[in-house]
Structure 1
Amino acid sequence: MRPARNLQQGPHTTFVQSMVRSHGRDATAFDARILDDGSVAVSGPMGTALYPLGGWTSKFVRHLEQGYFGPATAAADQEGG
C-alpha cells in the first residue's frame, strides 16, 4: 500500500457523511480526503477505498449500496432491505 499525504479535508467528509446518512447508516465513522495524487480516499468502519477524482461520488454510492462499507442500520432493514 502506498503512503498518502492528505492535502484537503473538511467539506468532503461532510458530503460523504450526508450521503451515508441518506442511505440509513451511521455516518460518524466516515471520512473523505483528496490525496496528493488526485485520488479520493473514503474511509469507513470497514476500511478505506480509493477513487479517481472524476466520478468518485457515483462509485462511492454504488459501493455503499452494495455493502462494501459495512451493514446497513435497522432503518434499512425495516424497509425490507
Structure 2
Amino acid sequence: MSENRKTAILVFGLGLVATLLALPFLYALGLPSFEVVLMGLFGEGNAWALVFTALLVLLIFFGLRKWIKSTD
C-alpha cells in the first residue's frame, strides 16, 4: 500500500474519531444540528437547501481530492 493511501486512510479515520468525540460535546453546548440550520436559512421543503448541501459536499470532496493529489 502506498504512503499516500495510508495517509488518506489515517486522515479519514482521525476525522471519524474527531466527529464521534466532538458531536456529543457540541450537542451538549446547544449547537443546532445542520438540519436545523438549513431549515432556518431556507425554510422547510425548500429545494435550495438540497442544492446548498450538494455544493458543500462537492466543495469538500474536491478540496480533499486536490489535497491528496498535491501530497503525491
**Is the shorter-chain TM-score for this pair beyond 0.5, marking a shared fold?**
no
Higher helix share: 2
**Could you say which structure has the higher strand fraction?**
1
TM-score using structure 1 length? 0.29
Decide which structure has the larger Cα Rg and report it: 2
| Higher relative contact order, structure no. (Cα contacts within 8 Å, ≥ 6 residues apart) | 2
State the TM-score, normalizing by the size of structure 2: 0.31
